[in-house]
Structure 1
Amino acid sequence: MEIIGSIIKGAINLKGALTSEPNHIEAQQNVLEKLLKTASKTAFGIEYDFERIVSSGNIQNEFANKVPYFDYHQLLEKWWHRVIEGEENVTWPGNPDYFALSSGTTGKKSKRIPVTNEMIEAIRNAGIKQVEALSNFNLPASFFEKEIMMLGSSTDLQERDGHLEGEISGISASNIPFWFEGFYKPGRDIAKIDDWDKRVQRIAEKAKEWDIGALSGIPSWMELMLQKVIDHHKVEDIHDIWPNLQVYTSGGVAFAPYEKSFNSLLKHPITVIDTYLASEGFIAYQERPETDAMKLITDNGIYFEFVPFHPEYINQDGSLKQDAPSITLAEVEVDQDYVLLMSTVSGAWRYIIGDTIEFTNVERAEIRITGRTKFFLNVVGSQLSVNKMNTALREIEEKFDIEIPEFTLAATRINNQFHHHWYLGTETAVDNTTLAETLDEVLKNANKNYRVARSKALKGVKVTTVPPLVFSEWSGAQKKKGGQVKMERVMSEEKFAEWEAFISENTTTQNQ
């Protein structure tokens, strides 16, 4: 028996047995009160009279009534530009040592999001919670002696005006506790390589020296890394290199679109655990194997609010209308899409992260990510969320026995009539007309609003297939490869024109 692994597993199991389920509603009330008290003397806290909010009879209601919603650009324009310029005590006490660079899924220009020491500690605490949850997954003791491949962004953070900048995965990896370094791969030297292709090449070259038991990273980039390792060593699958690989923790995006293509790189299935780490904080993690839903971390420096995701509450640019009603964790219901708001120990307040979520279990505070506010396609009343798009494509995969890990689409005009033009990342002999007709029927059957739109303003559906690799090349050309970069699922007409020009220059497509 692996003695060290048994000790570690035993300690995790004991900690899990001794840790009781928190009262999530009370935990959130306590987090908000602590946030407000801590930031009461900041410029933001004075502007919105945090001291009066704390002394009111209902802190949550008063907070919602007094403080407006902020998306990144609104918070940057009024408050965070002062933080970036080095001013202290603006939205949080002091001035942060780090800024997370996030190009997200829209635009070439990186966002610069404050990351305080309190947030780094919160992310570390959330990671410990996730490790403790492994006691629920019935993993063998030997697993706890294996190494973990964390495929994030470069840990070579850039110094700027007295602070360090990088993507949140790079910031987190550069702050891993000393006791974890022996398990962490690819190690500090390789992790510092900024060029993603060069870093992955070094990983491929060193892969046989490591005994990897777990992977962590964004699915699209993880697949490319695994394929590179497989090709470099001329083997059939990744288990020929890492036979003890048993766990993959995905992060920030739905894993379902990648499931078929990801599994094709394995000799046998592994345990997939979802996590939700954003530049703004560690939001949730999968606690139980019987569901792929994730548990909101309600007692760790982030206060959550929820706005029902209805078109009348959303501006054209994906931001929230200020009169949209918000609710607390005590008021949410299952099977309802919500826009997620966060107030954090990094000085984000009623911050629109841009994701939509649904609750699968209110008592356990378990959620799934359903899409992005900016990726909600409602130009002609079709009301298509990313979740509905993903569900439809899974049916297409099943029907034609194909893999579609990537896609994007836009509402385009042909002779002044709207069409949905889908680009599907797939290698298939099925012609595009068949795919378009089938996709159209699946969406009609599953979505009443889409069916109505197709009978009126939405005149047609077009599909173009391209190799899946094109999507990562587009992301690389638009922003940067690897890390937290994710593909935009819904594009504006202007962005779509750029996409089609890129496709025309870089690949031969099959047109409908």
Structure 2
Amino acid sequence: MALIEITLPKTIAKALRLPASSPRRQQLKVLKKLLKKARFTEFGQHYRFDEILLSRHPGKKFQQLVPAHDYSSIYKMWWHKTLEGKRDVCWPGRIKYYALSSGTSEAASKYIPVTEDLLAGNRVVMIKQLFSLRHYDDIPFSNLGKGWLMLGGSTQLQQSKGYYAGDLSGITAKKVPFWFTPFYKPGKKIAKMSDWNDKLDEIVEQAHNWDISFVVGVPAWIQMCMEKIIERYKLKTIHDIWPNLSFFVHGGVSFEPYKKGFEKLLAKPLTYIETYLASEGFIAYQDRQNARGMKLSINDHIFFEFVPFDDENFDAEGNMVANPKTYMIHEVEEGRDYAILISTSAGAWRYMIGDTVRFSDVDRCEIIITGRTKHFLSLVGEHLSVDNMNRALQLASEELNVSIPEYTVAGIPSGTFFAHHWYVATDDQVDPQQLREKIDKHLKELNDDYAVERKSALKEVYLDVLTEDKFMEFLKSKGKVGGQHKFPRVLKGNMLRDWEQFLNPGIKAG
């Protein structure tokens, strides 16, 4: 990998009939590399990878011959064989590691294959992100060599017959390169601890020994960690103990709901860097200061396709249809929501990861995460995305000057019609009725479908204000504490019934 990418000036590229920087060409190069590596696997033989490689249009041929998969279909047909120890199923060799992922709403764990090739590709993207900091203004580069507190899952992995399983963050931390060890905190001994509360207590006790410049993790758990440190050492802000703290690398959820409460813990501003590191691979990262979106990793180890997130390609429950319409990177449009299909160096082929994204800048291949295919509300055609919810809540909280770090929404019956029930977390004083009205008002302004349905079948909006601890207690009750676990923004099915019973323990689950 070149540290400095050389791009031809557009005029010269045009004269040579070559694009200055072609995302399509980069993606086809990645696809061919993946196909060549996996062509002798069982999957590659079944779906005729050699034929695809010989095609004049390998991207289109790949879409014609290989079906799109969700977890259930690829696991049932292929991945279950790798758990049984079979080699060369979807990727060469035996799968030794699996990232356990349950998303944020499903109870059963998914076993996502993790290979050395995938981890190597992830590391390349991480290094690229690090080098992208040279484009940032007023970056204290001396801080880059100080401590990095990475608050992820336990590196104590579950051992089974022939493989290990655990959080991707735990697998990644377990394989930290030797040159990064001096900077890596909390260190391998603490990172190995499986009990989240014990791990957090040990981090708090060791905090005064570290000079931390970077904190990396999910906002809710990083905030909790800093609050405990401030309380333990009777500090005003986290900078009283870590004066060189300059960066917060976050991902997984929108940071906006946490920002107000987070910044109360600081003495000076941080540089926020958003990443998109999923169990299936390092998908995108923010490579420009104050950029609205994240740059897709299009020339590394992932081939991307995009499925319009609409009624033609998904049913009412967010399930993808059998043969969805798919687009490559050069065919997408700005301002339209897509579900992502990825093919990776771990044997995921045309695999839907469940997130929805929108291109904020097509030329730069920059995206924002708008939600998940199953985390949206459309009881009566309101088509309400998590992005809509985040924005409405942000506007309402700013107007009322309150911090709302967590929330979730459920669609429920209301007489013969329907309603939305909001549950928001804040430790500030707020009038629930006033907050409800402001959220409803902003959603009408943000989403025309919602505005229409609020006049017809979506008859009511309810809102309950809870403490932030209540949300955390529920996650603990589900065994989803620390690491990469996030609270689901939309509750449906069993998770909704569990939540209702948690809030009202005297009521039997239906």
Return the alpha-carbon distance in structure 2 between the equivalents of residues 312 and 464 of structure 1.
35
Q: Indicate conservation of the 8 Å contact 1:376/1:490, yes or no.
A: yes
Q: Does 1:89 align with 2:88?
A: yes
Q: Which residue of the partner structure matches residue 129 of structure 1?
A: 128
2:60 alignment counterpart = 61
Paired letter, 1:247: F
1:64 corresponds to which letter in structure 2?
Q
CA distance in 2, matches of 1:141, 1:72: 42
- Deviant stretches of 4+, over 4 Å: 15-22
- Counterparts in 2 of 1:22 and 1:160: CA distance versus 1, 3 Å: farther
Aligned to 2:13: none
- 1:371-386 mapped onto 2 (5 Å cutoff): 371-386=371-386
Query: How big is each residue's C-alpha offset from its partner over 1:236-255, in whole Å with a ceiling of 9 and x where there is no partner?
Result: 21111111100000022221
2-structure distance, mates of 1:58, 1:32:
11
Higher mean alpha-carbon deviation, 136-145 vs 321-330, is at: 136-145
Residue equivalent to 1:489: 489
The aligned counterpart of 1:430 is 430
Contact 2:402 2:430 in 1 (8 A): no
Q: Distance in 2 between matches of 1:370 and 1:163?
A: 34
Letter in 2 for 1:381: G
Secondary structure, counterpart of 2:164 in structure 1 = strand
Q: Give the match for residue 154 of structure 1.
A: 154
Q: Which amino acid aligns with 1:222?
A: I
Q: 1:362 offset after TM fit, Å?
A: 1.5
Within 2, Cα distance between the matches of 1:18 and 1:388? 37
1:411–1:493 Cα contact (<8 Å) kept = no
In structure 1, the partner of 2:143 is: 143
Contact (CA 8 Å) 1:274, 1:292: kept in 2 or not? no
**Which residue does 2:17 correspond to in 1?**
none
Provide closer, same or farther for how the CA distance between residues 64 and 393 of structure 1 changes in structure 2, counting only shifts above 3 A: same
Q: Which amino acid aligns with 1:232?
A: R
Instruction: Report the TM-score when normalising by structure 1.
Output: 0.93
Deviation at 1:277, TM superposition (A): 0.4
Counterpart-to-counterpart distance in 1, 2:378 and 2:454: 12
Deviation, structure 1 residue 64: 1.0
- Indicate if the aligned counterparts of 1:422 and 1:464 stay in contact, CA closer than 8 A: yes
Count of residues paired in the alignment: 492
Over the residues paired in the alignment, what is the CA RMSD in angstroms? Answer: 1.6
What is the correspondence of 1:442-457 to structure 2 with a 5 Å cutoff?
A: 442-457=442-457
Kindly state the Cα deviation for residue 497 of structure 1 after the two structures are TM-superposed: 2.5
Q: Which residue of 1 aligns with 2:10?
A: none
**Unmatched 5+ residue regions in structure 2?**
8-19
Identify the residue that residue 299 of structure 1 maps to in structure 2.
299
Name 1:400's counterpart in structure 2.
400
SS across alignment from 2:312: helix
- Counterpart in 2 of 1:340? 340
Q: Give, as a single letter, the amino acid of the residue that structure 2 aligns with 1:489.
A: R
- What is the match of residue 100 of structure 1? 99
Query: Contact (CA 8 Å) 1:146, 1:212: kept in 2 or not?
Result: yes
- Compute the TM-score of the two structures, normalised by the length of structure 2: 0.93
User: Would the aligned equivalents of 1:106 and 1:488 in 2 still touch at CA under 8 Å?
Assistant: yes
Query: Partner of 1:25: helix, strand, or coil?
Result: helix
Aligned to 1:41: 40
**Aligned partner letter, 1:370:** T
1:509 is matched with none
Which residue does 2:15 correspond to in 1? Answer: none
Shift in Å at residue 336 of structure 1?
1.3
Aligned to 2:204, the other structure's residue is in SS state helix
Q: Find the residue that maps to 2:504 and give its secondary structure.
A: helix
Structure 1 position 285, deviation (Å):
0.9
Match of 1:351 in 2: 351
The 3 A distance-change label for structure 1 pair 238 and 505 is farther
Contact kept? 2:82, 2:94, Cα under 8 Å: yes
Farther-moved stretch of structure 1 (388-397 vs 407-416): 407-416
SS in 2 for 1:496: helix
**Corresponding residue SS for 1:312:** coil
Deviation at 1:486, TM superposition (A): 1.5
**Residue of structure 2 in register with 1:368 after alignment:** 368
8 A contact 1:100–1:166 mirrored in 2: yes
Indicate conservation of the 8 Å contact 1:42/1:92, yes or no: yes
Partner of 1:171: 171
User: 1:232: how far off?
Assistant: 1.3
User: Structure 1 residue 473: deviation in Å?
Assistant: 2.0
Hey, what's the Cα distance between the residues in 1 that align with 2:22 and 2:131? Answer: 18
Q: Distance in 1 between matches of 2:370 and 2:92?
A: 34
The separation in 2 between residues aligned to 1:496 and 1:33, in whole angstroms, is 43
Percent pairwise identity: 43
> CA offsets, 1:122-166, max 9 Å, x none?
111111111111111241232123110000101112221122211
Partner of residue 323, structure 1: 323
Q: In structure 1, what residue type is equivalent to 2:93?
A: G
The aligned residue for residue 261 of structure 2 is 261
The answer for unaligned runs of 5 or more in structure 1 is 1-14, 507-512
SS of structure 2 residue aligned to 1:459: strand
